[in-house]
């Protein structure tokens, strides 16, 4: 039976540390503040928003919501981003994407100040992830993968890690963050030949394909650690991941559940970025923070 890597365990550790940091800021009269910018009412956005607000409340981060109708114009959306950029009380901004089709995502991303880009969507943040400069924020879900592994005491140095998925939101940045931890990383995608064989070679397998159940018994190997990033509504109305849990769990050494795995850590990473942004805008850092 595999060890379950529960996101709540990692989230608890991160949250406790951040509570102390937020309290220290608060003692100096600074309330770290997150702006949430949502266009429309997509159910998955609303669900993530609820999770993010709950986490921020636990930590001591204020949240200000900017809610726009799905018919909003590009001009109005950019004006809203400008007002968030200009507000000194706002430390970080989460913009829900994808945006409705009539809006220009590239323009919106380019407009957000990199210093407030706590979800790692601007080119500045991306280049920081790829250069390893540490100047900028990583996409939260990609970083959540690394946080779960570290918090579970799983060393990455020299490990063979396979990431299934090459999106700019998860697969690629996760691969870069793992590389920065000295893992030997393979990235797979839809043109990868013999995916199961490549997956079986990995000591750590990260499934971020966005396809329910694409990783099954044939892709698993004994001793493996499996992180399932996918979130899907199954035909039975229950949440499931990219990994066929029932097939893979009996084979591997450790695995994240869905729900309750990577997703549970993402909001903690987001909250951590808001605190870092608040610290950076006041020109201070906490000793000991990585
Ligand atoms: P995405 O943009 O659709 O990218 C999926 C990637 O997987 C693509 O690179 C694609 O390859 C690859 N892929 C798809 N099917 C494949 C297959 N059969 N074999 C090999 N590679 C395959 O998805 P995403 O935005 O990265 O999201 C991935 C998943 O994470 C989704 O299920 C999403 O709901 C979930 N998610 C979770 C969280 C969380 O907090 N846990 C947060 C955000 C998203 P190509 O490039 O060749 O097309």
In a domain, 17, yes or no: no
Judge whether residue 253 has pLDDT over 60.
yes
How far, in whole angstroms, is CA 219 from its chain's centroid?
24
The residue whose CA has the least distance to atom 28 of ligand 1 is 210
Pocket test for ligand 1, best of 167, 198, 218 (most atoms within 8 A of CB): 167
Mean residue pLDDT across the chain: 95
208 C-alpha vs ligand 1 centroid, how far in Å?
5
**Same domain, residue pair 117 and 153:** no
In a domain, 131, yes or no: no
pLDDT at 286: 52
**Same domain, residue pair 204 and 111:** no
**Same domain, residue pair 156 and 254:** yes
Ligand 1 pocket, residue 188 CB under 6 Å: yes
Asked if 198 contacts 192 with a C-beta cutoff of 8 angstroms, the reply is yes
Share of the chain above pLDDT 70, in %: 97
197 pLDDT band, cuts 50/70/90, is very high
Ligand 1 pocket, residue 148 CB under 6 Å: no
> What sign does the dihedral 264-185-138-279 (CA atoms) show?
positive
Q: What is the pLDDT of residues 17-50, one digit of tens each?
A: 999 999 999 999 999 999 999 999 999 899 999 9
The range of the structural domain enclosing residue 194 comes to 140-263
**Same domain, residue pair 114 and 148:** no
Burial (Cβ within 10 Å: 0-12, 13-18, ≥19) of residue 85: middle
> For the whole model, what pTM was predicted?
0.94
Structure tokens at 32: 């770290």
Ligand 1 pocket, residue 141 CB under 6 Å: yes
In a domain, 249, yes or no: yes
The residue whose CA has the least distance to atom 36 of ligand 1 is 230
Last residue of a domain, one of 89, 121, 153: 121
Structure tokens at 126: 């991306």
CATH code for position 206: 3.40.50.720
pLDDT at 134: 76
In a domain, 16, yes or no: no
pLDDT at 285: 54
pLDDT at 288: 47
135 pLDDT band, cuts 50/70/90, is confident
The residue whose CA has the least distance to atom 39 of ligand 1 is 263
């Amino acid at each position: 039976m595999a060890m379950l890597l529960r996101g709540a365990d990692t989230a608890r550790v991160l949250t406790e540390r951040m509570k102390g940091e937020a309290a220290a800021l608060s003692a100096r009269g600074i309330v770290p503040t997150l702006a949430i910018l949502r266009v429309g009412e997509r159910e998955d956005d609303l669900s993530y928003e609820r999770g993010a607000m709950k986490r921020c409340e636990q930590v001591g981060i204020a949240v200000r919501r900017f809610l726009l109708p799905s018919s909003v114009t590009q001009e109005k959306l950019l004006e809203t981003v400008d007002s968030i950029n200009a507000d000194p009380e706002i430390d970080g901004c989460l913009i829900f994407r994808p945006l409705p089709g009539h809006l220009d995502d590239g323009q919106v991303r380019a407009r957000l100040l990199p210093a407030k880009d706590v979800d790692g969507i601007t080119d500045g943040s991306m280049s920081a992830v790829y250069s390893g400069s540490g100047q900028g924020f990583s996409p939260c879900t990609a970083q959540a993968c690394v946080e779960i592994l570290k918090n579970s005491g799983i060393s990455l140095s020299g490990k063979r890690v396979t990431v299934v998925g090459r999106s700019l939101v998860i697969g690629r940045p996760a691969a870069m963050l793992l590389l920065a931890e000295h893992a030997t990383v393979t990235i797979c995608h839809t043109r990868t030949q013999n995916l199961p064989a490549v997956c079986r070679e990995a000591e750590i397998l990260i499934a971020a394909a966005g396809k329910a159940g694409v990783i099954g018994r044939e892709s698993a190997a004994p001793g493996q650690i499996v992180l399932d990033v996918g979130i899907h509504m199954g035909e039975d109305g229950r949440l499931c991941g990219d990994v066929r849990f029932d097939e893979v769990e009996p084979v591997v050494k450790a695995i994240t559940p869905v729900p309750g795995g990577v997703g549970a850590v993402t909001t903690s990473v987001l909250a951590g970025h808001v605190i870092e942004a608040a610290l950076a805008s006041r020109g201070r850092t906490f000793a000991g923070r990585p």
